[in-house]
Amino acid sequence: MGKRLTRHGNSMALVIDRPILDLLKIDEKTELELFTDGSCLVVVPQKDPTRDARIASALETVNRRHGKVLKKLAE
């Protein structure tokens, strides 16, 4: 899909089509991170700052409850 930038005041804007926004679960409230590798522009939804803490907590709970079984399975 080809796109062109559009003028938005003194800046340029990229209009993203609804199907892509829906697929990525992005809306007007979603904060985005922009970065480049020198030749490509990458736009990604910003991570939920509590996500890593929730994952660590869930992992700790699983290890506490099932650590012995998981250790035996690993052997």
Residue 30 lies in a domain: yes
- pLDDT tens-digit series, residues 8-41: 999 999 999 999 999 988 999 988 999 999 999 9
Residue 13 lies in a domain: yes
Contact 31, 45 (CB under 8 A): yes
- pLDDT tens-digit series, residues 33-65: 999 999 999 988 888 778 788 888 999 999 999
Tally of domains in the chain:
1
Query: Look-up: residue for tokens 């869930």?
Result: 58
Question: How many distinct helices (H) and strands (E) make up the chain?
Answer: 2, 4
**Ramachandran assignment for 6, one of left (phi > 0), alpha (psi -120 to 50 degrees), beta (any other):** beta
Residue 1 lies in a domain: no
Domain that holds residue 12: 6-74
Residue 62 lies in a domain: yes
Give the pLDDT score at 25.
87
| CA 16 – CA 1 distance, rounded (Å) | 11
Pure H helices in the chain: 18-24, 51-74
